[in-house]
Amino acid sequence: MTTLMAILIGTFYAAAIYMMLRRSVVKLVIGLILLSNAANLLIFTVAGMDRGIPPLIPKGELLIEGPAADPLAQAVILTSIVIGFGVLAFAVVLIHRACEVVQTDDMNEMKGTD
Amino acid sequence: MLIAVLSCFILACFAPWLHRLGGRHSGWLLALLPASLFAYFASMLPLVSQGHSLQFAYAWFPGMGIQLSFLVDGLSLLFALLITGIGFFILAYGGRYLEKHKDLGRFFVFLLGFMGSMLGVVLSDNLISLFVFWELTTVTSFMLIGFNHEQEDARKKAHQGLMITVMGGLALMTGFIMLGMAAGSYELSTILYSDGLTEHALYLPMLLLILLGAFTKSAQAPFHFWLPNAMAAPTPVSAYLHSATMVKAGVYLLARLNPGLGGTDTWLLMLTLFGALTMLTGIFLASRATGVKKVLAYSTVMALGTLTMLLGLGTETAALAAVTFLLAHALYKGALFMVAGILDHSAGVKDFTQAGGLRHSMPKTTVVAVLASLSLAGIIPLFGFVGKELLLEAVLSASNWHIGLTIATVIANILVVLVAAIVALKPWFGAVVDTPKKPHDPDIALLIGPAVLATLGLLFGLMPFIADKGLLAAAAGAVYGQPIELYLALWHGINLPLMLSLSSLLLGLLLFKVWGGWRQLTNFMHSAEKIGPEVVYERLMLGMTQFAAWQTNTLQNGYLRNYLITTLGTVIIVVGWALLRVNQLELNISFQDMRVHEVAIAVLLIFSALIAVLVRSFLAAVAMLGALGFGVALLYVFFSAIDVGITQVLVETITVLLLVLVLYRLPEFRSLSSTANRIRDAIIAGMTGLLMTILILVITGARQLEGISEYFLQNSGPLGHGRNVVNVILVDFRALDTLGEVFVLALVAIGVYAMIHLRTGALPVTNSDRRAAFNLRRSQKDKAKADAKAEAEASAAASKGEE
């Protein structure tokens, strides 16, 4: 399964980078979304993929019997999904605003610093 | 001891207020500190002169083995006494000299700061603290050279001095670290007496680096040019930093390290060669200059060269000659610089050609100047004579190249006599020349310093055993590495050194008679200066700024795409190279262990990503992203990450809504790039994707260390009292992280709210208006572009037609 996931993540990265290299600022946003999904899946895959053993302690016990999926990777991805959404929301509004002010969506015309 | 060094810095902090309190006499007030420090150091004389050394240590960075430790032996005590003793006179002198300057308070701050740093350099027992103080002297020197910061010239010269000494400082730091590694200790008292340093593999690089640091600081050729330029500083600074103390820091370092690093062929070659070269360069340039301070500065360069040469020889006589010459030089050169300041202050004279016959109007100053110059020329019975005899003796008895070194020294001595004669005779005797100001003897604050220093030169000359027994024997012993058995004497009988110095005296005086002719004769130097080291330095600095400008323009071009391409290209090359060379691509490929529904989802995801890239409609792309997000959520759920899956579903829903609501107002997709650009981008994107795929395949097979996840699994129940381990991690074990995350989201919310509600007046109001306006402008722009293109083609066709 890891091999398939590796191909999947590679495709995500390639698609994300290609979109981020476009001149249209809207496509940059789509690239960002793809990139954050790719990064999350990367962490998820590298931590090891196990089926049906979520890190939940059964009721009335203190420890999990037998193996469990890596909880740390899941916690990190959870954080990263939320933060990624925050960044995205901010970027989207910022880009929207910038397009209104600069009157263009072409990043070649957005390169001035003032 | 720590208090002694720090007191200078503490007083420096309060100097401006004390200056206001003290008014006209603030110089004297502040000079009380160096005076009491001088007394404190003098109280160590009895112990140190018997050959003992005192050590003081304070913990500084105990974890790194760096302590603030101080070592007082003959050499450091000699320097400490010079620094505080001359510092006393300089503060009094500077207070009067710059009496009317508006920044006098600041001057005191820098000067006291410098004094503390310099004391730190000569007293430090630890290489790291020595280096810190060393750099502090560089910084304070920069401040003092550029003291008249409203003049561009002063700023430029301060910058030059800073660049050269800081460059040397960097080399020095590297050298010190190597030295510390080789000796296994950063304590000088340990390093100097550890065996085998000279056979260590790092000996040559560390020696060269340390020498670079010492040579730049002590203005050895070819770095000598910064020192005369540093004369842009007020004269008290020149007298203190750039003749008596700071420039000798390099010499101090060489003398200090001589027992540990000296004695090898490289040491001998480097020091004597560069020392002799500097000696000749300095005195030759001094004999050609006419500016009062220039002449003195170049002759200081000569003295520094001589000291370096003597330290290179490393014999017992040379060690004694070095410390004797050093003391004599500090006394007469400090005095002469202060006299130069008096000339400027009381008569407005900055150039030897402007003055003459001042002995009538400035009799006291004349006596001091002549006394100090006689010591410079090395005439019996002054202390300079003792130093010069020892110098000649040391050179004559050198083991290698003694003929060449002797000739160089004698030539230098002839020119020194010429320079001394210029200083001693030119402004004071002969016909009276009109000076810019009405000349008069200055008041006591200005005169006492040079008078005392010049008198000491006479006293030590008549009774050399005072200096010798007191300190110089112990200092020379510290340089030589073991107690020395030689004694200073004024009269050695009629011997070869005496004959040599007599003949150089005669030749020097002869040359003084034809000074003008000598300067004419050596005029070829004017053209030589055009290819001198200073020009090389200027070129290098200019080249550096040009390179920086070019590099900034190339890399910081304002196109996000170019930044991305540069970054990704670097990553692909570096990581790819590492994967190929180090890992040899041991990929962990297996297509077993797959379920049908998982494969279906993965394939669906791959397709939706590709479609999101390829579609031309924005809404379609958003829809694809939605599908992709939910697919990823399913993957999380399949592989035991239920919380992550739930979060992903929630976030994905909001994302799609947000995109549709906000970005729907934005223009539709446009094709802006050319086909060539698309292909280039596709190649870069494809290579990045491939690299990530390979990376994952390599990483998953190469996990080496156990993670900390097991800890969380074991302790979530007992410590966190929660059954969902992921949640316990988020709100308990890593609660601060989560708190930070909450803050970030709150900030984002505020930012988003602010931007949505920020209105600029001139924009259209309704959405449809906005879209219409936007599309109108765009079509206008496109049309203008098309017009411009058509016009360009037309004009190209026209120009072709003309041909």
| Chain A residues 9-48 with a CB less than 8 Å from chain B | 9-24, 26-30, 33-34, 37-38, 40-42, 44-46, 48
More confident call, B593 vs B169: B169
Q: From the list A17, A45, A64, which residue is nearest B696 (CB)?
A: A45
Model confidence at A114, pLDDT cuts 50, 70, 90, reads: very low
Nearest CA in chain A to B767: A100
More confident call, B488 vs B712: B712
Residue B733 CB burial class (10 angstroms; 0-12, 13-18, ≥19): buried
Q: How far is A102 from chain B (nearest CA, A)?
A: 10
Q: What is the DSSP letter of B703?
A: -
Name the average pLDDT for chain A. Answer: 86
Give the tens place of pLDDT for each residue, B604-648: 999 999 999 988 888 888 899 999 999 999 999 999 899 899 999
pLDDT at B802 exceeding the cut of 50: no
CB-based contact B604:B630 (threshold 8 Å): no
- Where do the domains of chain A lie? 2-50+70-111
Please list every residue in chain B whose beta carbon sits closer than 8 Å to the beta carbon of residue A8. Answer: 602, 605-606
CB-based contact B624:B615 (threshold 8 Å): yes
- Distance in angstroms (rounded) separating the CA atoms of residues B481 and B488: 19
Model confidence at B520, pLDDT cuts 50, 70, 90, reads: confident
Alpha-carbon radius of gyration of chain B: 37
Smallest CA-to-CA distance from B640 within B701, B712, B725 is with: B725
pLDDT at B706 exceeding the cut of 90: no
What's the mean pLDDT in B50-76? 83
pLDDT at B3 exceeding the cut of 60: yes
What's the mean pLDDT in A30-52? 90
Predicted pLDDT at B768: 57
Angle, helices A71-102 vs B735-757, to 10°: value is: 20
Residue B572 CB burial class (10 angstroms; 0-12, 13-18, ≥19): middle
Name the average pLDDT for chain B. Answer: 86
CB-based contact B422:B515 (threshold 8 Å): yes
Q: How far is B796 from chain A (nearest CA, A)?
A: 26
Predicted pLDDT at B803: 40
Model confidence at B116, pLDDT cuts 50, 70, 90, reads: very high
- Distance in angstroms (rounded) separating the CA atoms of residues B394 and B406: 9
Predicted pLDDT at B217: 92
A102 at B interface, C-beta within 8 A: no
b/e sequence A69-78, b meaning 16+ C-beta within 10 Å: bbbbbbbbbb
Model confidence at B86, pLDDT cuts 50, 70, 90, reads: very high
pLDDT at B686 exceeding the cut of 90: yes
List Cβ neighbours of A111 (8 Å cut-off, separation of 6 or more). Answer: B557, B558, B559
b/e sequence B355-390, b meaning 16+ C-beta within 10 Å: bbebbebbeebbebbbbbbbbbbbbbbbbbbbbbbb
Q: Which of A20-29, A31-40, B193-202 has the lowest mean pLDDT?
A: B193-202
Inter-chain contacts counted by CB atoms under 8 A, chains A and B: 281
pLDDT at B85 exceeding the cut of 60: yes
What's the mean pLDDT in B298-310? 93
Model confidence at B777, pLDDT cuts 50, 70, 90, reads: low
User: What φ, ψ does residue B441 adopt, rounded to 5°?
Assistant: -70, 140
pLDDT at B779 exceeding the cut of 70: no
Q: From the list A34, A87, A108, which residue is nearest B609 (CB)?
A: A34
More confident call, B701 vs B376: B376
- Distance in angstroms (rounded) separating the CA atoms of residues B85 and B33: 10
pLDDT at B240 exceeding the cut of 80: yes
Q: From the list A44, A57, A84, which residue is nearest B725 (CB)?
A: A57
Six-digit token string for B661: 């609501």
Q: Which of A73-87, B427-441, B450-464, B729-743 has the lowest mean pLDDT?
A: B427-441
Q: Which of B171-180, B436-445, B453-462 has the lowest mean pLDDT?
A: B436-445
Q: How far is B646 from chain A (nearest CA, A)?
A: 10
Give the tens place of pLDDT for each residue, B382-427: 898 988 988 999 988 887 778 888 999 999 999 999 999 988 888 8
What's the mean pLDDT in B81-106? 90
pLDDT at B758 exceeding the cut of 80: no
Give the tens place of pLDDT for each residue, B647-657: 999 999 999 88
Smallest CA-to-CA distance from B688 within A23, A77, A20, A48 is with: A20
Contact B729 A71 (CB under 8 A): yes
State how far the alpha carbon of B751 is from the alpha carbons of A36, A89, A93, A96, B634, in Å. Answer: 21, 10, 9, 13, 32
pLDDT at B493 exceeding the cut of 80: no
Please list every residue in chain A whose beta carbon sits closer than 8 Å to the beta carbon of residue B663. Answer: 26, 29, 92, 96
State how far the alpha carbon of B538 is from the alpha carbons of B169, B218, B534, B546, in Å. Answer: 20, 20, 6, 12
What's the mean pLDDT in A12-27? 90
- Distance in angstroms (rounded) separating the CA atoms of residues B661 and B640: 33
As beta bridge partners, residue B291 has: B351
Predicted pLDDT at B791: 56
Predicted pLDDT at A38: 95
CB-based contact B122:B478 (threshold 8 Å): no
Six-digit token string for B582: 């180090």
pLDDT at B781 exceeding the cut of 70: no
Contact A13 B685 (CB under 8 A): yes
Q: What is the DSSP letter of A104?
A: -
Give the CB-side neighbour count of residue B413, counting CA atoms within 13 A. 28
A75 at B interface, C-beta within 8 A: yes
- Distance in angstroms (rounded) separating the CA atoms of residues B7 and B279: 37
Predicted pLDDT at B439: 84
The Cβ of residue A17 has, within 10 Å, a number of other Cβ atoms equal to: 25
- Using CA of residue B401, residue B406, residue B411, residue B412, what is the dihedral sign? positive
Please list every residue in chain B whose beta carbon sits closer than 8 Å to the beta carbon of residue A95. Answer: 666
Instruction: Let me know if domain A2-50+70-111 sits in CATH 1.20.1050.
Output: no
